[in-house]
Amino acid sequence: MSLNKSTLALAGILLATTALGTGAAFAQAKVAIVTPYMAQPGTQFYVEAFQAVADENDWDVNVIDTAGDVAAVISRMEDLVVQNVDAIVINVDPTQVTAGLQAAKDAGIPVFGMDAGADPLLVTNVTSNGYAMAAETSTYVADRIKGEGNVVMFVFEAFPPVQVRGVVADAVFGNYPDIKVLDRVTPDVADGGIADSRAKMEAILAANPEPGSIKAVWAAWDQPALGALQAIEDAGRSGEGIVITGIDANPQAREAIAAGGNFEASVAQDFSGIGATTADAVARVLAGEEILQSVTYVPTKLITKANATE
């Protein structure tokens, strides 16, 4: 009896599976997205935008979320290689899934990075341009202070994507003879970066008590900018017109910018744009085109009070 019941139940499950499996038409291109980070909001934007383009192209898209399990990304890539899909898109640090990338390469299946990180085994990695983001905010600062005065910089050399931002800001400020970089601070990021940046900024404010002695704070990401904002407000110096900028436009930063205080600008990545551009790259390769750039940049957007709540 129990055999009959369990086999019946099993048959039910398997039948359901057959119905669920996309009985794809053979002409359709099979494209799979594998990510361990589906739960993160940015990833959902990428995937939705990707799928919109995929629908236009009538691809059979298989979105695989391994729920944080990076080894499972490799396993699923191996399965996709065996299944002989037409293209694989990953949203994970490629150095962690080299085994999967190698399997795909051996089978001649192109793999694309969707904000993954550059890797020789990827056709291209689609992401935001860190240099361009830093150029947006550093020129914003230079323009706002009319090319003269003391600027405090918050940088972080140990993390390459943030390090490049500092390089560009250095170049922009260095190009103005009357802008002086008062301090180039690397905050301790162990607690997220806000608290230590605030402490560092308090010390700098104390050392420069004259109103107007600090014209701007340029931060390579939002947390130090938020810390500097707290320090300036608590020191009662928010009326001096010190201009603060961050990068990334996280929700807390947007809120501060919308409030209209010293924190004036940040830069938002275009997550949907990254998803759509990745799909375009896939389409180009499926059409037989060769992509030469190992990294494909998607434009970013300056966020100010005017558009912070969008």
Partner 1 sequence: MVFIRRYGTLIGFVAILVFFSVMLPGTFPTARNWLNITQQTSMLMVVAAGMTVVMVMGDFDLSVGSAASLAGIVAALMMVAGQPIWAAVSVSLLVGLLGGAFNGAMVSLVGILPFIATLATMTMFSGLAFVVSGGKTISGRAIPEDFGNFARAGIPLGEWGGVAISLPNLSIIAIVVILAVWVLLEQTTFGRRLYAIGGNMEAAHLSGIAVKRLRLIAFSLTGLAAAAGGLMYASRVASANPVQGSGLMLNAIAAVFLGTTMSRHGEPRILATVVGVIVLGVLDNGLTQMSVDSYIRQVLVGALILVAVGAGSIGQKRR
Binding of partner 1 at residue 80 (CB under 8 A)? yes
Among the listed residues 49, 64, 111, 242, the single contact to partner 1 using CB under 8 A: 64
For residues 34 and 3, the answer to whether their CB atoms sit within 8 Å is: no
10 Å Cβ neighbour count for 62?
A: 18
Applying CB under 8 A, among 44, 57, 102, 307 the residue interacting with partner 1 is 102
Q: Is 40 in the site for partner 1 (CB under 8 A)?
A: no
| Contact status, residue 237 vs residue 204, Cβ threshold 8 Å | no
Contact 61, 32 (CB under 8 A): yes
Is residue 185 within a helix (H) or strand (E), and if so which, with residue range? strand 179-185
CB of 223 to partner 1, least distance (A): 15
| Among residues 29, 44, 45, 79, the one that binds partner 1 under rule CB under 8 A | 79
Our finding on whether 5 is near partner 1 (CB under 8 A) is: yes
Q: How far is the CA of 195 from the CAs of 202, 225, 253, 263, in angstroms? A: 11, 11, 15, 16
Binds partner 1 by CB under 8 A, chosen from 47, 49, 51, 62: 62
- What's the full length of the chain, in residues? 310
Q: Where is 88: in which H helix or E strand?
A: strand 87-90
Nearest by Cα to 49 from 29, 71, 33, 25: 33
Give the nearest distance from C-beta 287 to partner 1 in angstroms. Answer: 22
Interface with partner 1 (CB under 8 A), residue total 49
CB neighbour list of residue 145: distance below 8 Å, 6 or more residues apart? 151, 179, 215, 216, 243
Q: Which stretch binds partner 1 (CB under 8 A): 79-87, 108-116, 130-138, 248-256?
A: 79-87
Using the rule CB under 8 A, is 304 a contact of partner 1? no
- The piece of 13-21, 129-137, 241-249, 250-258 that touches partner 1 (CB under 8 A) is 13-21
Contacts with partner 1 in 211-230 (CB under 8 A)? Answer: none
* Binds partner 1 by CB under 8 A, chosen from 76, 198, 200, 237: 76
CA 70 to chain centre: 18
- Footprint of partner 1 (CB under 8 A): 1-3, 5-7, 9-11, 13-14, 16-18, 20-22, 24, 30, 32, 60, 62-72, 74-76, 78-80, 82-84, 93, 95-99, 102, 190
